[in-house]
Amino acid sequence: MRQIRLLKTAALVGGAALAMTSEQASAQSSITLYGVADVSVRYLTNSNAKNDGRLYMTNGAITNSRWGLRGSEDLGGGLKAIFDLESGINLQDGSASDSQRLFNRNAYVGLSSQYGTVTFGRQKTPLFDLLGDTYDPLTVGNYAENSWLPGALGAGLYADNAVKYTGTYKGLTMAAMYSFGTNSESTGVGGFSGQVPGHLGAGNMYGFTLSYVAGPLSVAAGMQQNSDNSNHKQTIFNANAVYAFSSAKVYVGYLHSKDDTGFVDSALAQQTLVPGVDILKGSGRVDNGPFAGVTWQATRTLMLTGAAYYDHMSNAAIGNGQLGSGNRYTFVALAEYALSKRTEVYGTVDFDKVSGAASVELPGKNNQTGVALGLRTIF
């Protein structure tokens, strides 16, 4: 029944979009249906506690499949009304990537002018914009095995109930966001649900970033603080640089997190940890994660990417109510071959190794290797 309701809702939204396109053409309005269809076949070693290998179909290596509706209306004087509704799809089985939301990736409305853009609703954090659009060589990746660092340290990288400003002036871009309640779905350890009566700061989130482009060099920095519904906090700092050559780009970056909410321990653990016993609020887990990479346009149709991620953690949950320190390393190689401007085939290989407290972040042995082949088309 839930799937039928979702299909009916999607049909109504699509019908409304078509009607608005025809009725508002004279008002210089536009509505665009867009999306990504990306799926891969992947083999992963040591995929469970018995260290069995697994062959399966999953979403793409770099981009989750999604569809969306994006629109704008010219209000005159350089002012535009804008909106974006975007929903994730699990292409391998046709299910929604978030069963509790129809539009889990974006659901916002706003105003845009020469002075910047202000948007209201569920949307990407400024930190996600930096990493996903410019400064992470894998655009934050997609497989859990190669996207763990920004995903966990960025508390999901999306925020509900958010007000966001973005503006650019002579190569300098500033973005700032405040969320009244970061994640309305989450209620457990590290649950940034927010909007607690009488506690304005509980469950909220704020963040800001600055980036600057000067010829081939792009640099950026930012911070983000998330508060859970008990007013424990996770604070994240990020710094990045990209240098573009004629056919290659070199990336370096750094993520730092201090987490009192238990979110990072909960998000990264693949072995069983018990909330309140192993995952302790106020433990002060600290992660320091430098990363680097390179992309090379080898030919007109072939793009090669290599990336390396590292995390040193301390005060991290290791089970039995204990805390410890440890390290995690990830190396990723990606080859993309363009069949057209919108469609490509790709192959990827990734390797993870953990030690110390990081051992709970893999289900079995202290290493994993993944190999995948995929197909992606953009519309």
pLDDT, position 194: 57
Q: For 73-106, what is each residue's pLDDT tens digit?
A: 999 999 999 999 999 999 999 999 998 899 999 9
pLDDT, position 6: 38
Q: Which residues lie below 8 Å from residue 96, measured CB to CB, with a gap of 6+?
A: 6, 87, 88, 89, 90, 102, 104
pLDDT, position 1: 39
Q: Which residues lie below 8 Å from residue 373, measured CB to CB, with a gap of 6+?
A: 40, 41, 345, 346, 347
Q: How confident is the model at residue 175 (pLDDT cuts 50, 70, 90)?
A: very high
Q: State the distance between the two ends of the chain, measured CA to CA, in whole angstroms.
A: 29
The CA distance from 42 to 145, in Å, is 12
State the pTM of this model: 0.87
Is residue 187 scored above 90 in pLDDT?
no
Give whichever of 12-16, 19-23, 150-154, 368-372 has the largest mean pLDDT. 368-372
pLDDT, position 27: 58
Is residue 319 scored above 50 in pLDDT?
yes
Average pLDDT over residues 136-149: 91
Is residue 202 scored above 80 in pLDDT?
no
Q: What tokens appear for 238 in the block?
A: 């990020």
**Domains assigned to the chain:** 2-378 (2.40.160.10)
pLDDT > 70: what percent of the chain?
88
Cα-based distances in Å from 265 to 98, 273, 313, 323, 361: 22, 9, 10, 10, 9
Q: How confident is the model at residue 62 (pLDDT cuts 50, 70, 90)?
A: confident
Is residue 191 scored above 60 in pLDDT?
no
pLDDT, position 16: 46
Mean pLDDT of the chain: 90
Residue type at 355 in one-letter notation? S
The label of the residue with tokens 């057209």 reads 340
Q: How confident is the model at residue 156 (pLDDT cuts 50, 70, 90)?
A: low
- The residue among 282 and 229 whose pLDDT is bigger is 282
pLDDT, position 87: 97
